[in-house]
A and B are shown apart, each in its own frame.
Chain A
Amino acid sequence: MEAFKEHDGLVVPFDRINVDTDQIIPKQFLKRIERTGFGEFLFYDWRYLDNGDSNPEFVLNHSRYVGASILIAGINFGCGSSREHAPWALQQYGFKVILAPSFADIFRNNCYKNGILPITLSAEIIAAISQRAKNTEGYRLMVNLEEQSVVCPDGTVYTYQIGDFEKYCMLNGLDEIGWTLQYEADITVYENHNRL
């Protein structure tokens, strides 16, 4: 996994609550056996019209948000299916950071494992950032992981919480399986003790 230290990126406000992973990446794209190639199918049913053309109404298709890498989402983002194809699609589209008042549990876990930083901030702060992104074309945020901060162009700083281990893994691009395997002796002891 690529390490995440800090990220300066264009913000796109996405005013929908309870966005489920079926919307993030519809099921017809889950048949691939590769880990790549999902970005073009992100939000497929919303992003494209029935004839395959780009849907001009959909926020990601607005020219001012092309190249956005920070998504401002509503409550419970990523609910539903455990498909890791959802963070793969977001990451391969170009998103590095998602800010929301809350995330679904499995989705949040899957984000950490793919170098996407899911940041939880209060609904009021999310609404304020979303409004500023709508008011100001080219609105950007600077997200720092070491300092656990989101810095706005006007200098306002919001701090966020993240688990120590998740932070460590992301800062170092850690291979979590390698981490667990260093305790292989403990696993064997556990198995022997429990006659597994």
Chain B
Amino acid sequence: MKKTMYEKIWDAHLVRASADEVPILYIDTHLVHEVTSPQAFEGLRLNNRKVRRPDLTFATMDHNVPTTDRSLPIKDQIAAKQMETLAQNCAEFDIPLYDINSPDQGIVHVIGPELGITQPGKTMVCGDSHTSTHGALGALAFGIGTSEIEHVLATQCLLQHKSETFEIRVDGTLPYGVTAKDIILSIIGHIGIDGGNGTVIEYTGSTIRSLSIEERMTVCNMTIEAGARAGMIAPDDATYEYIAGKRFAPKGEAFDKAVEQWKQLPTDDGATYDRTLTLNAADIAPQVTWGTNPGMVTDVTGQVPNPADMQSTDEKQAAEHALAYMGLRPGTPMTDISVDRVFIGSCTNSRISDLRVAADVIKGRQVAKTVNAMVVPGSQAVKRQAESEGLDEVFRAAGFEWREAGCSMCLGMNPDILMPGQRCASTSNRNFEGRQGKGGRTHLVSPQMAAATAVTGHFVDIREFTS
């Protein structure tokens, strides 16, 4: 029988599949962070249960951590307690932890691939919806809640219903100035933020194939913003090359053997998906969100839409509410919108290639006087690499703040937040109300667009800015 990649990985991980029960799926890798795990560990203790496979579990601190000087004590006592709790839990249950002082610390979805933990064909979970990121290397990776974290800790398995399969094919050469971020924002704009509900999306086509592994991560990362549990891209030579030599990757002969197995993963010719959508790369322009969810997005050459043009009453009301919150008027050209803050970071766009392209735009230019801009590398390793290339100097010279690694202002659990009414060009993944700070107004863009916006003080078409 012809199978999709999702079906192959699913079938290979079934511990038990009885017709009248929910299948039991084996989980190869469990990633843990400080915010969603404490109640799960507490549950284990209350029921006198152990962690079945601490050797398949990896923990880091990312959501809460301050991005300022790490030698100073953490001011937020509740956050500090949560980090301390993770450290205690990891010690008690023998789980490897990359804590705030570790040279490997970073956003869980940045360090997984970076350390070679993320590999094709694996099932991976984490108590974070952006776990979909790891699908960029051909893993089946998805976010889970705290009860499920406890379940995986105790059993290394999950009770899971099989999802439908959804192929999103993007073909053609990406136009100048159009990035992986614009591809995924455009997809979400097309299918809506619930367009992928109940499905696992596999991205295919020549455009996807031409993306670097880090760009593929950006696409898979925001798959959850379309409602799909997981996004996946079939592994290829670029994938194997990316993994080779990484700390947790198989070595020598074992690596060659693994590659032979990974080559069996791509969807069989003639296998069918439950749904399919095809997009043409040539039709995609740089994207900017205007509203309060990632589906409220338009081309940078576009305008703030008029709620009166929306199809349903619900959508009209949602758009009116969003525009009121965002402080925007219908018909305003996107490039007329000024910002107060620029945030380059998050599990979507904080990898070395993101920082390189942003630095390219910034080089020799200055952040506008009206703008406060910051770069938060995704991991300590990304930070070190950027510093070795002198990117930190480029950003600093332009007037950017250069920070320590963490989730930071993507969700503002640490001190990095927007003030009420402040408007931000952000390379993160969610423009929900209050996400970056109560009353804060978030516009999602690519790293290039964020960098150019920092310079001009308002949104700008990157194709005109740099060409």
Contacts and interface: CB of A to CB of B under 8 A. Distances in A.
A190 B154 contact: no
Interface in A114-130: 114
- The binding surface of chain A is classed by DSSP as loop
Interface string B198-218: 100000000000000000000
Chain A interface size, as a band, is 35 or more
A15 B318 CA distance: 10
Given A22-B432, A22-B434, A187 B81 contact: no
A92 interface: no
A82 B143 contact: yes
Interface string A8-27: 00000001111010110011
A106 B145 contact: yes
Interface in A15-74: 15-18, 20, 22-23, 26-28, 30-35, 45, 50, 74
Which among B52, B194, B321 has the highest number of chain A CB atoms within 10 Å? Answer: B194
Given A31-B79, A33-B38, A35-B42, A176 B151 contact: yes
A114 B148 CA distance: 11
A76 B193 contact: yes
Contacts of A81: 128-129, 411, 430
A106 B229 contact: yes
A40 B227 CA distance: 28
Given A22-B430, A113-B145, A177 B155 contact: yes
A17 B296 CA distance: 13
B78 interface: yes
B129 A75 contact: no
A17 B315 contact: yes
Interface of A: 15-18, 20, 22-23, 26-28, 30-35, 45, 50, 74-76, 79-84, 87, 102, 104-106, 109-110, 113-114, 163-165, 175-177, 179-181, 183-184, 186-187, 190-191, 194, 196
Interface of B: 15-16, 20-22, 24, 26, 28, 35-36, 38-39, 42, 47, 49, 52-53, 56, 63-64, 76, 78-79, 81-82, 85, 127-129, 143-148, 150-151, 154-157, 159, 161, 193-194, 197-198, 224-225, 227, 229, 293, 295, 314-315, 317-318, 321, 411-413, 420, 430, 432-435, 438
